[in-house]
């Protein structure tokens, strides 16, 4: 997910942040919990993005907060606020895992 898109659809920032992707995971899970429907393909894409682009930090146990348009890390800083978003997205996925499996939405 792009860092910033304007209301009219124009891209304002062609970078990517971990928190936006984490929040998108939570939104998909909230929709599933409320309605029982989910775009499983999109959820899978978001999870793959989190793990393959952001959670391969330069040091084990760290993450990358922001990527530029070429998917290269923007800066070496690791804001602690990113952990909040990441933790809650994974916690929600784990909490809803049994229901997702029962609905055939998780392999």
Res 3: pLDDT: 67
SS3 97: helix
Residue 4 has pLDDT above 80, yes or no: no
Res 1: pLDDT: 64
Q: What is the mean pLDDT of the chain?
A: 87
In SS3 terms, 5-25 reads as: ECCCCCEEEEEEEHHHHHHHH
pTM of the model: 0.84
Res 30: pLDDT: 96
- pLDDT tens digits, one per residue of 35-87: 999 998 999 999 999 999 898 867 777 888 889 989 999 877 788 888 889 99
pLDDT band per the 50, 70, 90 thresholds, residue 6 = low
Query: If you search the block for the tokens 């070496």, which residue do you land on?
Result: 76
Res 94: pLDDT: 96
Query: Helices then strands (H, E): number in the chain?
Result: 3, 3
Helix axes 18-35, 40-49, angle to 10 degrees: 150
Helix axes 18-35, 80-102, angle to 10 degrees: 30
* Domain ranges, ordered by start, for the chain: 2-102
């Amino acid at each position: 997910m792009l860092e910033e898109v304007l209301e009219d659809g124009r891209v304002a920032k062609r970078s990517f942040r971990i928190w936006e992707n984490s929040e998108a995971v939570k939104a998909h899970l909230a929709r599933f919990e409320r309605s029982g429907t989910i775009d499983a393909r999109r959820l899978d894409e978001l999870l793959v993005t989190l793990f393959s682009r952001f959670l391969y930090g330069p040091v084990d146990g760290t993450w990358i907060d922001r990527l530029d348009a070429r998917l290269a890390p923007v800066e070496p800083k690791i804001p602690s606020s990113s952990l909040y978003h990441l933790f809650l997205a994974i916690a929600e996925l784990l909490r809803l895992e049994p229901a997702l499996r029962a609905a055939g939405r998780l392999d």
